């Protein structure tokens, strides 16, 4: 056995291990022990051990969720040793990867093999299991979340059983476990659909808010991947259109890319956010300058170098998924709310889209979706802004991102998700004693 264990053991020592904090620093917990199993079999043994000790179990990846979805006072499983590619099937065009593999490592390894995921989110620090279990997504007219690209997964359940799940094998588990919230078991491996690596041309262009809103449906329909950022306290947006290209590749110049993606988007933005937190009345003026700092640019590169960007400024985030047809009305209400309130918002609002999918608790389950995400710099009081935003989003039938700040509970979510009862019934079957429960899951799924 190569499992690593840290911290005291036994049911009488709950909450006495080393503290754990998430990436944003807004969630902390103190598990009894941390373990790092190196295989599905070792993982199953750790689950059986936790049951004997009367301890709850949670798995944590890189801590990029803003909710307490991974917090526990029991056993914290770190998948540090569950990394790497198990196999590539070029006939089926799939890759099977260990659950603790960071998306960054997967993307680089696939590119070396001449392969790529079809779509991805805008950061790639998360583990594959953490990203898929919380519904991480990018933007796409036809291609959906990372979880929607799963073709099979390996799940270790509360009794130590190792289940292989796909459309053909344990299909009812597969239908739910692709976005399982850590409530059904511990994912030990994932099989993704892949395709030959391709080129994307990114066109980034400033645009006025009213024009983006007026042309939103058209911009969505005409581009494979469309997204935009609106800068509060201004009428300015930055739009991004990603479409497949026959080439040739034309990457960002090293110096130019560093200047905009690192110096401006991280270094200068960090300083601006720090100033805004210290002197909130300065934020509107800072926003006007920031929204004009990024210029139009076009470049062509392989997918992960276009879809993803470095995000070094730490923040808190709330994101809601709305029916796509409700997006423009909600955005107008959001802009009016900010302009009519004393709020000072230093972070841009991000808007993306996704097609409907068939995953029980996907935020895009059964409906064409638009995502509206709001952020605040870490350490900035967020409750007033997020509460006002949430009021707008829920009025439009919004579904909160499972890994981002929200206050919704099981009663609300049961109405928002037509297949909610299907998921909770499966949870009752796979984890009747709630080995994988914590306060967050009790709130959003009930008990």
- Which pLDDT score, from 0 to 100, does residue 269 have? 73
What's the rounded Cα separation, in Å, for the pair 194 and 189? 16
Phi, psi of 126 (to 5 degrees): -70, 160
Predicted confidence (pLDDT) at residue 400 exceeds the cutoff of 90: yes
Write the pLDDT tens digit of every residue in 322-363.
999 999 999 999 999 999 999 999 899 999 999 999 999 999
- Which pLDDT score, from 0 to 100, does residue 94 have? 98
How far, in Å, are 165, 202, 204, 263, 371 from residue 227 at the CA level?
A: 33, 11, 10, 22, 10
- Which pLDDT score, from 0 to 100, does residue 275 have? 76
Name the nearest CA neighbour of 346 among 233, 227, 205.
233
Predicted confidence (pLDDT) at residue 398 exceeds the cutoff of 90: yes
Which pLDDT band, with edges at 50, 70 and 90, does 10 fall under? Answer: very low
Which pLDDT band, with edges at 50, 70 and 90, does 252 fall under? Answer: confident
Q: Is 203 exposed, middle or buried (0-12, 13-18, 19+ CB in 10 A)?
A: middle
Mean pLDDT of 277-284: 84
Mean pLDDT of 59-67: 96
Predicted confidence (pLDDT) at residue 102 exceeds the cutoff of 70: yes
What's the rounded Cα separation, in Å, for the pair 152 and 138? 21
- Which pLDDT score, from 0 to 100, does residue 67 have? 97
Mean pLDDT of 194-199: 98
Which pLDDT band, with edges at 50, 70 and 90, does 171 fall under? Answer: very high
- Which pLDDT score, from 0 to 100, does residue 309 have? 85
- Which pLDDT score, from 0 to 100, does residue 49 have? 98
Predicted confidence (pLDDT) at residue 370 exceeds the cutoff of 50: yes
- Which pLDDT score, from 0 to 100, does residue 262 have? 54
Write the pLDDT tens digit of every residue in 133-146.
999 999 999 998 99
């Amino acid at each position: 056995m190569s499992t690593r264990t840290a911290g005291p053991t036994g049911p009488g020592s709950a909450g006495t291990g080393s503290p754990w904090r998430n990436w944003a620093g807004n969630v902390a917990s103190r598990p009894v022990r941390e373990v790092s199993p190196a295989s599905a079999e070792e993982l199953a043994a750790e689950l059986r051990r936790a049951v004997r000790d009367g301890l709850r179990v949670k798995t944590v990846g890189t801590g990029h969720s803003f909710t307490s979805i991974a917090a526990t006072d029991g056993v914290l499983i770190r998948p540090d040793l569950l990394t790497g590619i198990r196999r590539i099937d070029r006939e089926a065009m799939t890759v099977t990867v260990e659950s603790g593999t960071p998306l960054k490592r997967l993307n680089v390894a696939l590119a070396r093999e001449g392969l790529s995921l079809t779509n991805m989110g805008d950061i790639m620090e998360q583990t594959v299991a953490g990203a898929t279990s919380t519904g991480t997504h990018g933007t796409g007219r036809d291609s959906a979340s990372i979880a929607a690209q799963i073709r099979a997964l390996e799940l270790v359940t509360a009794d130590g059983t190792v289940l292989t799940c796909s459309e053909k094998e344990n299909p009812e588990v597969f239908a739910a476990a692709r976005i399982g919230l850590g409530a059904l078991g511990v994912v030990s491996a994932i099989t993704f659909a892949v395709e030959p690596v391709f080129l994307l041309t990114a066109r980034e262009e400033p645009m006025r808010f009213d024009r983006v809103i007026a042309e939103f449906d058209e911009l969505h329909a005409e581009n494979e991947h469309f997204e935009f950022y609106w800068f509060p306290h201004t009428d300015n947006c930055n739009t991004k259109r990603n479409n497949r290209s026959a080439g040739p590749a034309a990457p960002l110049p090293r110096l130019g890319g560093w200047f905009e993606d690192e110096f401006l988007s991280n270094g200068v933005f960090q300083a601006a956010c720090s100033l805004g937190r210290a002197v909130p009345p300065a934020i509107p003026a800072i926003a006007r300058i920031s929204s004009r700092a990024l210029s139009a640019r076009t470049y062509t590169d392989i997918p992960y170098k276009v879809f993803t960007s470095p995000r070094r400024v730490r923040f808190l985030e709330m994101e809601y998924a709305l029916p796509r047809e409700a997006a423009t009305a909600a955005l107008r209400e959001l802009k009016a709310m900010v302009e009519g309130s004393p709020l000072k918002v230093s972070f841009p609002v991000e808007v993306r889209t996704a097609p409907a999918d068939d995953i029980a608790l996907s935020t895009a389950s059964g409906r064409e979706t638009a995502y509206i995400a709001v952020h605040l710099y870490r350490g900035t009081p967020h409750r007033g802004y997020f509460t006002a935003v949430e009021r707008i989003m829920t009025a439009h039938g919004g579904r909160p991102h499972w890994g981002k700040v929200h206050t919704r509970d099981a009663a609300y979510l049961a109405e928002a998700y037509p297949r909610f009862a299907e998921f909770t019934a499966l949870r009752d079957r796979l984890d009747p004693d709630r080995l994988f429960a914590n306060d967050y899951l009790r709130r959003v799924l009930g008990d």
